[in-house]
Amino acid sequence: MGILSGNPKDEPMHYGEVFGAWSFVTGTKGMVAGYQTFRNHAGDADLINLIDEAISQCQLEIREVETLLKENGVGLPPTPPERAEVNLKDIPTGARAMDQEISVKISADIAAGLVTCSTMIGQSIREDIATMFGQFHMQKAVLGAKFLRLNKEKGWLVPPPLHQKSDV
């Protein structure tokens, strides 16, 4: 048997795994706070449901990665306070984030999260960490597809210039 060939949970994390996991939790906690705020601004019922799903998914990911960090003696990043729920009508129109803006921002976060998960998979030498981020990647891909479908159905998707095949 080679080095680090026992139970992965008994193996130490390397610095890249520690930093990547800690940074992932930090960023995801910030997203939860942001999505709670976005939920207050959203008016579309379908968007609100997807925001709730995104928040739940983020909270699950935070719990799993925090457990990993705690088991390995790594201090946890601070958690922003929960955002208060407000009535949409209490937010002045000019101060509101629009549904399209919210959906595009969360879609971009999901795309960035896919890259982050792929990076963690690629740099991990512990199979359990790579597998955890592989599962997060799959869940993010599914959620991203739901946001893409919503953006198309609501007419919120603004595609880049489309390439038209030219007959030269």
Q: Can you spell out the DSSP letters for 100-128?
A: HHHHHHHHHHHHHHHHHHHHHHHH--SHH
Out of 4-8, 92-96, 137-141, pick the least confident: 4-8
For residue 157, what are the contacts with CB-CB under 8 A and spacing of at least 6? 148, 151
Q: Is residue 52 part of a domain?
A: yes
Contact 50, 102 (CB under 8 A): no
* Residue 162 covered by a domain: no
What is the pLDDT, as a whole number, of residue 167?
75
Joined tokens for residue 127:
């199979």
Q: How remote is the C-alpha of 48 from its chain's centroid?
A: 16
Q: Residue 168's pLDDT is what? A: 65
Residue 62: inside a domain: yes
The answer to whether 110 and 144 have CB atoms below 8 angstroms apart is yes
- Domain range for 22 is 12-75+97-154
Query: How does pLDDT run across 58-74, given as a tens digit for each residue?
Result: 999 999 999 999 999 99
- Amino acid of residue 12: P
How much is the average pLDDT of 103-121?
98
- Residue 164: CB partners within 8 Å, gap ≥ 6? none
**pLDDT (tens digit per residue) in 135-149:** 999 999 999 999 999
Confidence of residue 23 (pLDDT cuts 50, 70, 90): very high
Asked if the structure places residue 166 within a domain, the reply is no
In a domain, 63, yes or no: yes
Domain containing residue 136: CATH number:
1.20.1260.10
In a domain, 82, yes or no: no
Q: pTM to 2 decimals?
A: 0.91
**Domain count within the chain:** 1
